[in-house]
Amino acid sequence: MGRLDDKIALVTGAAGSIGAASARLLVAEGARVVISDLDADRLDALVAELGEESAAALVADVTDSDAVAATVALAVERFGGLDVAFANAGIFGVPAPIVDYPVDVFDQVMAVNVRGPFLVAKHAMASMRDGGSLIFTSSVVGLTSDAGICAYATSKHALVGLMRTAAKEGAPRRIRVNTIHPGPVDNEFQHSIEERATGQSRDKAAEIFEGMIPLGRHATAEEVAHLVLYLAADESAFVTGAALPIDGGMSA
Ligand SMILES: NC(=O)c1ccc[n+]([C@@H]2O[C@H](COP(=O)([O-])OP(=O)(O)OC[C@H]3O[C@@H](n4cnc5c(N)ncnc54)[C@H](O)[C@@H]3O)[C@@H](O)[C@H]2O)c1
């Protein structure tokens, strides 16, 4: 018996670190998943790993409404419904103060990190079965912020507003909506941010960041996946409208 037997899930950004770890754990607990991303090769490799009876992939840009609708349709057509949508694809942009921040990069970050999850909510909630779960990947900087990250922090704060609205709209059908707020994760996405933010080597930059985390280390993608699993499963049936940090105390 898995914790997600009979559930069908959609994961965006599934070729990436947190998305792939989550897709693996959801399938390990009995779910069938539709995985989407821009990276076709990594999606194909993940389907091969998870097995075609448990996973189907679609290359889809989350900023494209028709493409997001097609991923939802794939879940319904291939597996018979949709119970869980994990809107997880995201980009960082560049580190720069507001006065220097490139407007086109700001727009791109908002498109992927806000319009994308909005489109996932829009199309997934329309098809989701009663009692479903919608999960957005925000960030510790969806609750706090720092200099130099205006686009990223603004986009991740915006998800809290989207989540609170969706939680109220989904409640009559017991659809739960929550944001998760990871702190720095030990993966390429974060190490590249740390190197650019500090101008230091990967190891030195990681050490500087770990000095800002009360638990003194990065998270693993698998730890984040376990929070996704909890929110996907019926054991979190009374959790909605919540912004859940998983940040080693960084936002405390
Ligand atoms: N890594 C961290 O420390 C950290 C901390 C907090 C929040 N997050 C958030 O977690 C999420 C996943 O990040 P990750 O750490 O796994 O990084 P990642 O770069 O490994 O994964 C992100 C994935 O999103 C995909 N993607 C980017 N733009 C897309 C688009 N337009 N359409 C579809 N897919 C697109 C990428 O191809 C990539 O596979 C992101 O939303 C990120 O902001 C990460």
Mention the CATH class of domain 8-183+220-239.
alpha beta
- Residues with Cβ within 6 A of ligand 1? 12-13, 15-19, 37-39, 61-63, 88-91, 112, 137, 139, 182, 184-185, 187, 189-190
Q: Mean pLDDT in each 10-residue stretch from start to end of the chain (252 residues)?
A: 96 98 98 98 98 98 98 98 98 97 98 99 98 98 97 98 98 98 98 94 97 98 98 98 98 97
* Best residue among 91, 113, 156 to mutate for probing ligand 1, ranked by most atoms within 8 Å of CB: 91
| pLDDT for 1 | 87
**Containing H/E element for 192?**
helix 188-198
What is the location of CATH 3.40.50.720 in the chain? 8-183+220-239
CA distance 16 to 13: 6
| pLDDT for 168 | 98
128: which DSSP letter? P
Which string of b and e fits 98-127 if b means at least 16 CB within 10 Å?
Answer: eeebeeeebeebbbbbbbbbbbbbebbbeb
Indicate whether this model's pTM tops 0.95: yes
| pLDDT for 147 | 96
